[in-house]
């Protein structure tokens, strides 16, 4: 990074041979649980499918090459700096020169759980240098992808987890340090909430915001004020939470109980993450190769961040209701992917944000930037194109 401030340093950490040997020994020594014997098998219904998990672990032991995966991630321009007293790891890919000479648009991408900068690793190049990938070179972005505190290679807060609003404030400081007084931002999952708070708390700096969901179904009025579609969405959200939300309740209330197990057992960690990749992706685990899944899981294992990442749920659960009820007035775009979970209706999106563009891509799920990188990148190019006229700081 030419002329970078002295407080920003290239990041080139590599896992030690000792850490990889310990991981392999733990995998080999796995004590597998029993599985109920029922006609046709239990599959994914009670949790991670053990047949798939056994195949994944066998590949982890004898087929997966972490140093090669690490080297692939290292091709991204990665850095560390201190923000708010925390060491923050981030990708910063400078946008390619545009034919018109117009500066690339600064774009902050916010990940969620259970992932890290991994979520956007396939789209960084597509967004920073669109001309090299068959897209309009005028759509180049300066791409910034931080690991949230307690995720990936960023430090975990010592005094307790930060909520999405606090992380948004850190990212506003980070973008200023990188020379971007004004910028656009996008995100999904927890990253959608971070993007929302950036737009709410820094509307003079956020030019436009793109999200893959419309937040939690929290409403301050009477149910009768909701449209029939909104009422159905609230009911569907409650039903989904009853059937699928046990992980979230654990994260919000007793994250350290789960962390004690998941931080000690790589197979337990894989089961916890893989089950969500399967349930939330368009096409289940078939949306990924085994190496792609294991890159995400191994990042969690080597950084020891499963506990700190889960604790963010408890911090977000403590946000006052009035914060959840605030309407985003910054121009907002939404891509509600076909395979995502509990998809909000247009009426709710327009109630909670100044929605200037809403699309429903036919492919992709909760991790669309990784599942369908070309499609996701085009969604961002199309939405942000009208906002490129401001003077980027």
pLDDT value of residue 42: 85
Q: Do residues 233 and 345 touch, judged by C-beta distance below 8 A?
A: yes
Report how far residue 124's alpha carbon sits from residue 93's, in angstroms, rounded to the nearest whole number: 7
Mean pLDDT of 20-33: 98
The first and second tokens of residue 36, run together, are 């109920």
Give the model's pLDDT for residue 5: 52
Average pLDDT, the chain: 95
Number of other CB atoms surrounding residue 30 within 10 Å: 16
Q: How confident is the model at residue 39 (pLDDT cuts 50, 70, 90)?
A: confident
Q: How confident is the model at residue 224 (pLDDT cuts 50, 70, 90)?
A: very high
pTM of this prediction? 0.96
Kindly tell me if the per-residue pLDDT of 353 is higher than 90. yes
Does 285 score more than 60 pLDDT?
yes
Q: What is the pLDDT of residue 98?
A: 94
pLDDT single digits (tens) 113-165: 999 999 999 999 999 999 999 999 999 999 999 999 999 999 999 988 999 99
Confidence (pLDDT) at 226: 96
Residue in the structure block whose two tokens are 């973008």: 175
**Is residue 3 packed enough to be buried (19+ CB in 10 Å), middle (13-18) or exposed (0-12)?**
exposed
Tokens standing for 87?
């060491």
Q: Which residues, other chains included, contact 37 with Cβ-Cβ below 8 Å and sequence gap of 6+?
A: none
CA distance 147 to 366: 18
Residue 6 has pLDDT above 80, yes or no: no
Asked whether residue 74 carries a pLDDT value surpassing 80, the answer given is: yes
Pairing of strands 78-83, 9-10: antiparallel
Q: How confident is the model at residue 393 (pLDDT cuts 50, 70, 90)?
A: very low
Catalytic residue set: 189, 313, 366
Helix, strand or coil for residue 306? helix
pLDDT attached to residue 13: 87
pLDDT for residue 256: 96
* pLDDT value, residue 392: 46
Domain extents in the chain? 47-387
Inform me whether the pLDDT recorded for 93 exceeds 60.
yes
Q: What is the pLDDT of residue 274?
A: 98
- Work out the percent of the chain whose per-residue pLDDT is above 70: 97
Q: Which pLDDT value is given to residue 180?
A: 96
Judge whether residue 3 has pLDDT over 70. no
What pLDDT does 389 receive?
79
Which homologous superfamily is 47-387 in? Alpha/Beta hydrolase fold, catalytic domain (3.40.50.1820)
185 SS3 class: strand
Residue 390: pLDDT band (50, 70, 90) is low
In the predicted model, what is the mean pLDDT of residues 248-269? 97
Structure tokens at 5: 């401030």
Q: What is the pLDDT of residue 1?
A: 44
Side-chain half-sphere exposure of 52, counting CA atoms within 13 A: 21
pLDDT band at 391 (very low <50, low <70, confident <90, very high): low
Q: Mind listing the pLDDT tens digit for each residue in 307-338?
A: 999 999 999 999 999 999 999 999 999 999 99
């Amino acid at each position: 990074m030419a002329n970078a401030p002295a407080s920003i340093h290239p990041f080139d950490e590599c896992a030690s041979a000792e850490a990889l040997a310990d991981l392999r020994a733990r995998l080999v020594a796995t004590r597998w649980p029993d599985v109920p014997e029922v006609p046709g098998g239990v599959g994914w219904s009670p949790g991670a499918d053990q047949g798939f998990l056994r195949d994944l672990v066998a590949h982890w032991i004898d087929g997966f090459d972490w140093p090669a995966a690490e080297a692939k991630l290292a091709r991204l321009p990665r850095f560390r700096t201190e923000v708010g007293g925390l060491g923050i790891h981030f990708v910063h890919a400078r946008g390619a020169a545009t034919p018109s000479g117009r500066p690339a648009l600064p774009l902050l991408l916010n990940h969620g759980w259970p992932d890290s900068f991994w979520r956007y690793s396939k789209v960084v190049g597509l967004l920073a240098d669109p001309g090299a990938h068959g897209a309009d070179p005028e759509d180049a972005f300066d791409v910034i992808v931080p690991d949230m505190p307690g995720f990936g290679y960023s430090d975990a807060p010592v005094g307790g987890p930060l909520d999405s609003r606090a992380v948004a404030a850190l990212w506003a400081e980070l973008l200023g340090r990188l020379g971007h007084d004004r910028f656009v931002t996008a995100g999904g999952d927890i990253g959608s909430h971070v993007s929302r708070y950036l737009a709410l708390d820094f509307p003079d700096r956020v030019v436009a915001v793109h999200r893959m969901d419309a937040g939690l179904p929290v409403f301050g009025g009477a149910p009768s004020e909701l449209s029939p579609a909104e009422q159905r969405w609230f009911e569907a959200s409650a039903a989904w939470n009853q059937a699928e939300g046990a992980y979230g309740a654990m994260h919000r209330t007793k994250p350290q109980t789960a962390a004690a197990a998941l931080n000690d057992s790589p197979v337990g960690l894989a089961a916890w993450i893989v089950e969500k990749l399967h349930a939330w992706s368009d096409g289940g685990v078939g949306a990924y190769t085994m190496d792609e899944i294991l890159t995400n899981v191994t990042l969690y294992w080597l950084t020891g961040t499963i506990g700190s990442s889960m604790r963010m749920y408890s911090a977000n659960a403590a946000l006052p209701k009035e914060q959840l009820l605030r309407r985003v007035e910054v121009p907002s775009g939404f891509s509600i992917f076909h395979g995502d979970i509990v998809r909000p209706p247009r009426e709710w999106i327009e109630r909670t944000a100044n929605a200037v563009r809403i699309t429903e891509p036919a492919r992709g799920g909760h991790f669309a930037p990784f599942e369908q990188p070309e499609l996701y990148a085009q969604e961002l190019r199309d939405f942000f194109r009208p906002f490129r006229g401001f003077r980027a700081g």
